[in-house]
Amino acid sequence: MAYRNLETSNRGAVRTIVVNRPDKLNALNRETLNELTLAFAQAAQDDAVRVVVLTGAGEKAFVAGADIAEMHGYAPVQAQAFSRTGQRLMSSIERLGKPVIARIQGFALGGGMELAMACHLRVASEKAKFGQPEINLGLIPGFGGTQRLLRLAGRGAALELCLTGAVIHAQRAFELGLVTRLVAAEALDEAVNALADQLAAAAPLAAAGILDAVLQGGETALDQGLEFETQGFALAFSTDDMREGTAAFLEKRKAEFKGC
């Protein structure tokens, strides 16, 4: 379908979703949040898509934040609805069941950093910058920033970034665990494409099981998480992909996974 604020394309089993509001540094307004929600739902339902790459148009920003011009006139009840819309999107990305890679090439601030943190892997240019500057607007993060930042980087980093509103460089974000791969700006596309291709060739049901085990099992006590893992491990033995993968290993050939 046609979107006003997004562009989508396919490269084999990899779908790329681009937030396309470069004149607004790809800021997230309500319409864009709704379009992203639909685009990710379509990717989830399309069996031909095994990996999603999310990025922003232009070189200045991945997503520079929520659309402050739209937010400025909100009453509390409207702000609550806006926050919940954003949080539902972030949760749908996190729970997509397919790997999602954030390609980060500029500012990832506020809602943009929250969007990146909802992705499973984050590949960033050395020129990228990150931050949760909501406090400078008299606000707190509203799309999950306090919670995912806490889980990814720890309490100290979450409090420091949210309380100071500081913008940090990509190297610092990498050191905090917010960036999974850090590359030179000119190598960003090559690095993202290589990672996406690697994941697209992997067993999709096993990938979904890993995502479930880490993201859902990781929110429970260790014993519960281990049981979650055991059930997922056993379930994998019911798949053709498991038989193909083990046979390919024994026969010293490359496996061809079908997702069944």
C-alpha to C-alpha distance for 178 and 167, rounded to whole angstroms: 13
Q: How far is CA 186 from CA 113, 125, 129, 171, in A?
A: 22, 8, 16, 16
- AA letter at 257: F
Write down the catalytic residue from 35, 59, 134, 227: 134
Nearest of 79, 122, 83 to residue 100 by alpha carbon:
122
Q: Is 11 helix (H, G, I), strand (E, B) or coil?
A: strand
Active site residue 175: no
- AA letter at 128: A
Enumerate the β-bridge partners of residue 102: 54, 122
Active site residue 114: yes
- Token digits for 165? 């509103």
Cα torsion angle, 92, 168, 51, 6, sign: positive
C-alpha to C-alpha distance for 83 and 92, rounded to whole angstroms: 14
Nearest of 129, 132, 172 to residue 149 by alpha carbon:
132
Write down the catalytic residue from 70, 94, 114, 251: 114
C-alpha to C-alpha distance for 124 and 195, rounded to whole angstroms: 13
List the Cα angle 211/212/217 in 5-degree steps: 120
Catalytic annotation, residues: 114, 134
